[in-house]
């Protein structure tokens, strides 16, 4: 149980139906599961950094075919996701989301589905990317949900800033939450990310649910 006797939301069920979608990145999908999601602005990562990263990642994936064990998934994120996180925290690109109105519009877009298709636990919008910790409700499909979030937010921000062209990177990174400790680690990451990136309070927008606020 979480603080106050609240039961932990659904994590990964190793006995349940699991769909592993093989796109440019692997996505583990399970109905009603809890996810830690990251997606980034289109200019958040320079190609000069991404090309050798992709080559190393692809070699590693050839040596570790899906489905991965918990240890292999952890190794993947340590070797590749962490490197990406460090690069985006360095503030590459135009950093459109440093604008408070743009960041708030993204949060509002995500929260439009709160308690209908998802239950949001924590969101942090950084200058060139965002992290969201949430649980799917009923049969909500993760790819369709992310596609809707990206599409609606892109239209809102393009209108707000009178810009055209792609706003978000094509893909996204997701981690299926395995258990309560994994949930707590992702929540701590969300909280510490702005300080790690040396951001001022005006440079990001953060949201936490009542449940998340009760967890140290």
Question: Each residue of 58-67: pLDDT tens digit?
Answer: 999 999 998 8
Q: Which is it for the CA torsion 114, 120, 122, 127, positive or negative?
A: negative
199, with CB counted inside 10 A (0-12, 13-18, 19+), is middle
Which one, of 169, 113, 104, lies nearest residue 140 by Cα? 113
Whether the bond into 67 is cis, omega within 30 of 0: yes
Question: Is it the case that residue 109 has pLDDT exceeding 50?
Answer: yes
pLDDT for the residue numbered 31? 57
Average pLDDT over residues 13-19: 46
d(Cα 121, Cα 115) in Å, to the nearest integer? Answer: 11
pLDDT tens digits for range 149-204: 999 999 999 999 999 999 999 888 888 898 899 999 999 999 999 999 999 999 99
Alpha-helical segments (H) within the chain:
47-63, 70-76, 82-89, 100-111, 142-161, 180-196, 210-213
Q: Given the DSSP bridges, would you call strands 118-125 and 205-208 parallel, antiparallel or unpaired?
A: antiparallel
* C-alpha atoms less than 13 angstroms from C-alpha of 180 in its C-beta half-sphere: 10
pTM of the model: 0.80
Quick check: helix, strand or coil at residue 111? Answer: helix
d(Cα 154, Cα 4) in Å, to the nearest integer? Answer: 38
pLDDT tens digits for range 53-95: 999 999 999 999 988 888 998 899 899 988 988 899 989 999 9
Average pLDDT over residues 49-55: 93
pLDDT for the residue numbered 10? 53
């Amino acid at each position: 149980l979480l603080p106050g006797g609240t039961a932990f939301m659904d994590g990964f069920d190793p006995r349940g139906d699991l769909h592993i979608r093989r796109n440019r990145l692997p996505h583990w999908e399970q109905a009603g599961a809890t996810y830690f999601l990251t997606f980034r602005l289109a200019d958040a990562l320079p190609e000069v950094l991404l090309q050798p990263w992709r080559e190393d990642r692809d070699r590693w994936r050839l040596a570790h075919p899906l489905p991965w064990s918990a240890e292999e998934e952890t190794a993947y994120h340590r070797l590749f996701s962490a490197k990406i996180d460090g690069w985006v925290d360095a503030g590459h690109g135009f950093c459109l989301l440093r604008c408070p109105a743009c960041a708030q519009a993204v949060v509002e877009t995500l929260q439009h589905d709160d308690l209908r298709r998802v239950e949001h636990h924590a969101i942090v919008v950084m200058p060139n990317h965002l992290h969201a910790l949430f649980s799917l409700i009923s049969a909500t499909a993760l790819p369709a949900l992310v596609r809707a979030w990206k599409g609606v937010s892109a239209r809102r921000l393009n209108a707000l800033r009178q810009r055209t062209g792609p706003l978000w990177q094509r893909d996204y990174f997701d981690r299926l939450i395995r258990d309560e400790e994994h949930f707590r680690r992702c929540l701590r990451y969300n909280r510490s990310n702005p300080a790690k990136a040396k951001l001022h309070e005006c440079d990001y927008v953060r949201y936490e649910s009542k449940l998340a606020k009760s967890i140290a």
